[in-house]
Amino acid sequence: MEQRLRSETKALLEQGKVDCIVGFAPGSLKFTTTPLITREIDDIDRLIISPFMVNNLAVYLTELKGRVGIVVKGCDSRSVVSLIQDNKVARENVVIIGIPCPGMIDLGKIEALVGRERDELDDIVRNGDKVQVTVDGQAREFPASQVLFDNCLGCELPTPEEYDILLGEPASQVADQATSHAAISKLKEKTPQERWQFWQEQFSHCIRCYACRNVCPACFCQRCFVEESEPQWLLPVPLWQDNLFFQVTRNIHVAGRCTDCGNCEQACPVGIPLRSLTREMYDIVGDLFHFKSGIDKEAPPLMTHYEQEEAESLFR
């Protein structure tokens, strides 16, 4: 698949069908990848396909000029479609190179299972529904369901449906909705007061680095409300109340656009379980409006139109 990725992207650049390619290259740390954005044919051999391609590369589309060839997993392709729905990206300006996605490996889960830091691991190899981890020369095998990201275990469309080139057959999925929703279910067992305390505690750790916003393709406002000075919605110091307000507002802004790619939670340097907010909103949007983000590029975006029979008279 990697060879085909390189030959297809090379041909796109050589034939002038795209101005640049956005894909994944090996990261500087073990078991990581890094986004590669290039116009150079010589760079194409650095493109890889790996079980550690966590970034949602659709985030770059609103910044890049010209025609872009972009490598996408299922959730990323939905983000591209969502950007097309919002008129942020023109379909004719993207060549979508789809990767049928078997789910990405959560290094944090592997570290917890083997009791070792990632630098101490010799190798991690995915074989179908098993993942083999080698430490000190000893191989141990785990079911993939134990080591994939929670969002991957609840993924609804791992194989991109919108693409120009699909690299391979639809992926066989390792699904486990109970594990995927475990953190949310645990929160729902709490009383409202306990939940309030939980989020107060979590957001007292937030350093307002905005990594969660910056990695998110659905957060595309040219000027984010947090940067407004008139009115000033948030104080510059990261008080927990303002941090919570930021995240609740962000969650409403991405409702109907979030594809549960999990990047915001994965990017958070202090480990705030942001997906418990975003996935819950994703499910609420599905239940209330029967709307799935990034499925139909012709459909109007969720939050920008209303129906004649809208229940709230305010909207009529």
Binding site for ligand SF4 (CB under 6 A): 56, 73-75, 101, 103-104, 151-152, 155, 158, 206-212, 215-218, 254, 258-264, 267-270, 272, 278
Least Cβ distance, residue 38 to ligand SF4 (angstroms): 22
Q: What amino acid occupies position 139?
A: A
Residue closer to ligand SF4, measured from CB, 9 or 55: 55
d(CA 220, CA 222): 6
Least Cβ distance, residue 82 to ligand SF4 (angstroms): 8
Least Cβ distance, residue 229 to ligand SF4 (angstroms): 19
d(CA 292, CA 289): 9
Question: Which DSSP category does 141 fall into?
Answer: E
Contact 47, 6 (CB under 8 A): yes
d(CA 114, CA 124): 12
Least Cβ distance, residue 81 to ligand SF4 (angstroms): 12
Residue closer to ligand SF4, measured from CB, 67 or 198: 198
d(CA 248, CA 262): 16
Count other C-beta atoms under 10 Å from residue 255's C-beta.
20
Burial classification of residue 39, based on how many CB atoms lie within 10 Å of its CB (0-12 exposed, 13-18 middle, 19 or more buried): exposed
Residue closer to ligand SF4, measured from CB, 41 or 270: 270
Least Cβ distance, residue 298 to ligand SF4 (angstroms): 21
- What letters, b where the CB count within 10 A reaches 16 and e where it falls short, cover 123-153? ebebeeeebebebeeeeeebebbbbbbbbbb
Residue closer to ligand SF4, measured from CB, 10 or 109: 109
Least Cβ distance, residue 120 to ligand SF4 (angstroms): 26
Least Cβ distance, residue 211 to ligand SF4 (angstroms): 4
Residue closer to ligand SF4, measured from CB, 69 or 74: 74
Residue closer to ligand SF4, measured from CB, 69 or 217: 217
Least Cβ distance, residue 272 to ligand SF4 (angstroms): 5
Residue closer to ligand SF4, measured from CB, 44 or 157: 157
Residue closer to ligand SF4, measured from CB, 69 or 102: 102
* HSE value, Cβ hemisphere, 13 Å, CA-based, for 110: 31
Contact 36, 47 (CB under 8 A): yes
Residue with tokens 């998110």: 216
Copy the structure tokens of residue 154: 């609840």
Q: Which of 75, 42, 44 is nearest to 57 (CA)?
A: 75
